[in-house]
Structure 1
Amino acid sequence: MATAAFRPAFAAAEKVTYLFPAPAFLPAFMPFHVATKRGYYTKNNVEVAFQTGRGGADVAKQVGAGNADLGGGLGETSMIVRPNGLPVRAVAQLGSHPLFQLVTRKESNIKSFKDLRGKKLGVIGYQDTGYYALLAVLASADLKRADLEVQAVGPAGVTQLMIAKSLDGIMATPEWAFAIEGAGITLDYHPVEKTFPAMAQAILTSDKLVKERPAAVGGFVKAVMQALRDCMKDPASAAADFVAEVPQHKGKEKVMEQILRRYVDQIYTTEPASALGKFDAKRLKTVQDFYLKNGIIQSAVPVEDLYTNQFI
């Protein structure tokens, strides 16, 4: 029949799973929820099922094994797992500055990374990329993990134990530092970027998905990047939509806006603005060389295998 040659006017939505590296309600994932609230996934012909993993490195393993289509980590996560045979690459970066920075309680009198010797530090997990960032911080000061106490305390523990004064410092995202300061704890900030060019939150997927389902990857990335630009342009409106989408934060619109403004100022802002979302091969090589030199990874892979900018 002639009608058999006709194709539907709109292709069916691409169904994808996305694995968050920590609880989905965290403000770190605000752009993903804003994209949902504003219908950006639908507009880009993707249908997303969100799930939660156990840290960025674990997410990358699940993505590489085909248990999830996409997931969240850091810009450098692919260099941590790819030498182990997991074909994972980053396809977008949410800003150009590190997601994590070291924050310490002022009373712990930590003036430099070298002062971490003998201290107690917290990370959310040993499979989280914040932990690998901490290893890099220690290496930059000629310290090893055995020179101090590093505890995996979960996403709630990093703030609770700092407030309880059970930890001297943590590898912190902006909202964790905000919460600790809100409880009356005075913090010292030790930006990681001054020591080595650590990277922002990133969207990861597998080589297979890039090759076989580029429309799915591209649609997801485009939706999130549009939401990210919205967050940067109008934090108040974006925060309100985030709260509407994530009921755990009901009544905290102003707090979420304050946290989002920290993200915009500390992480998202990119020069030039046209580079937002893209990866810099030179920066990736510098980070990978540092990780390799200091034994954080055991082998390196070609930089071009770590990322692609084709969806930005």
Structure 2
Amino acid sequence: MKHSFLGFGLAAAMAVSGAAASAQTALTYLFPAPDFLPAFAPFQLALGKGYYEEAGLDVTFRIGQGGADVAAQVAVGNADLGGGMGDTSMIVRANGLPIQGVAVLGGQGLTHIAWRDDSGITGPADFGGQSIGVIGFQDTAYYNLLAVLAANGMSRSDADIQGLGSGGLIQNMIAGSVSVMSGVPEWIVAVEDAGVPLTVIPARDVFPAQAQAILASDAMIAENPEAVRGFVQATIRAIEDIIADPHQAAADYVQIVDRHAENVEQIERIMRFYVDSVYAPAEGRPLGAFDEAQLQEIQDFYMANEIIATAVPISDVYTNDFVTE
């Protein structure tokens, strides 16, 4: 009798477990670059710490071929959600892709401008004639660089801007082949860790540069709003963990993404950079929320500099409906 009771209990537990598993909503998230990059730490932490599962989601990560590919795949439904920048939706929506930003992952901007201390540069006003590295010419960091130049009375033709890819950008900054870079925190930390002193400023000092964003199609928002809400809030929860304790977050992250296990100190430095200069909340809006006035300013600059050919209603490129309960 005892054996039968235990067997019944096990069967019941398995049935409950199976029911819980079947209740999970499958969701695919597409990264624009390899998912082991520290920029994507909030997603890895949210997955590894069970935050997506608690939100009722069975999340699968996939890797796309850059931001344009992510936007296209999300727009046609080949991925449920994807990663981009806070300005991505205004660029691709003008090309007919019905994409919106559903969260921006920080109150500050991702792009930072750094220059070698041995270059003689004292600030962006000295960028004329300098060799400046970016990863490419269809990238937000490049567009943000153009805004920094414009704020100092210069255009793209006033500097030697080179598209080098992420690896080439780091290598050329270390070698001194370029004196200035427009990029993201982990690249800057990599150059500094190679023994190159840098001066760093946020592009946001002169332009409303945006952080990373979670992108969704209009159809996904209409048909699966609770899945979108669950993913957004679980990801923001992971960012809040990083803000609260970067040291512990770095330790947790390298357990989840073990290729970084030997670099936990560098990962912590990168996370502290993100906490101070990217994730830091903007006054007057919750973490994750877009600022419509900032997006309008970006679109105006992009139109004036022929980065985009068609303006779209700014209210169509984002929603803040999912960032709070």
TM-score using structure 1 length: 0.90
1:212-291 aligned at under 5 Å gives the runs 212-272=223-283, 275-291=286-302
Deviations 1:54-92 (A, max 9, x none): 433442233224332211121111111111111111001
CA contact (8 A) 1:125 1:153 kept: yes
Aligned partner letter, 1:217 = V
Which one is further off, 295-304 or 143-152?
143-152
> Which protein shows a greater Rg?
2
Mark the CA change 1:272 to 1:113 in structure 2 (over 3 Å): closer, same or farther: closer
Mark the CA change 1:180 to 1:10 in structure 2 (over 3 Å): closer, same or farther: closer
The match for 1:135 is: 146
Give yes or no for the alignment of 1:18 onto 2:29: yes
Deviations 1:182-227 (A, max 9, x none): 1111112232112111111111111111111212211211110111
SS in 2 for 1:50: strand
Structure 1 distance, partners of 2:29, 2:163, is: 24
SS in 2 for 1:84: coil
Give yes or no for the alignment of 1:44 onto 2:21: no
Structure 2 distance, partners of 1:251, 1:311, is: 36
Aligned partner letter, 2:240 = R
Aligned partner letter, 1:184 = G
Mark the CA change 1:273 to 1:237 in structure 2 (over 3 Å): closer, same or farther: farther
Mark the CA change 1:116 to 1:61 in structure 2 (over 3 Å): closer, same or farther: farther
Structure 2 distance, partners of 1:291, 1:83, is: 12
How much does 1:126 deviate? 3.1
1:1-312 aligned at under 5 Å gives the runs 12-272=23-283, 275-312=286-323
Aligned partner letter, 1:46 = L
How much does 1:112 deviate? 3.5
Structure 2 distance, partners of 1:173, 1:136, is: 16
Mark the CA change 1:133 to 1:107 in structure 2 (over 3 Å): closer, same or farther: same
Percent identical pairs in the alignment equals 49
CA contact (8 A) 1:57 1:127 kept: no
CA contact (8 A) 1:57 1:129 kept: no
Structure 2: tracts of 5 or more residues without a match: 1-18
Structure 2 distance, partners of 1:258, 1:235, is: 8
CA contact (8 A) 1:15 1:46 kept: yes
Deviations 1:117-174 (A, max 9, x none): 3332222233332222223333333433343333332222221221122222221211
How much does 1:304 deviate? 0.8
Alignment length, in residue pairs?
305
Mark the CA change 1:185 to 1:9 in structure 2 (over 3 Å): closer, same or farther: closer
Mark the CA change 1:306 to 1:101 in structure 2 (over 3 Å): closer, same or farther: same
CA contact (8 A) 1:57 1:128 kept: no
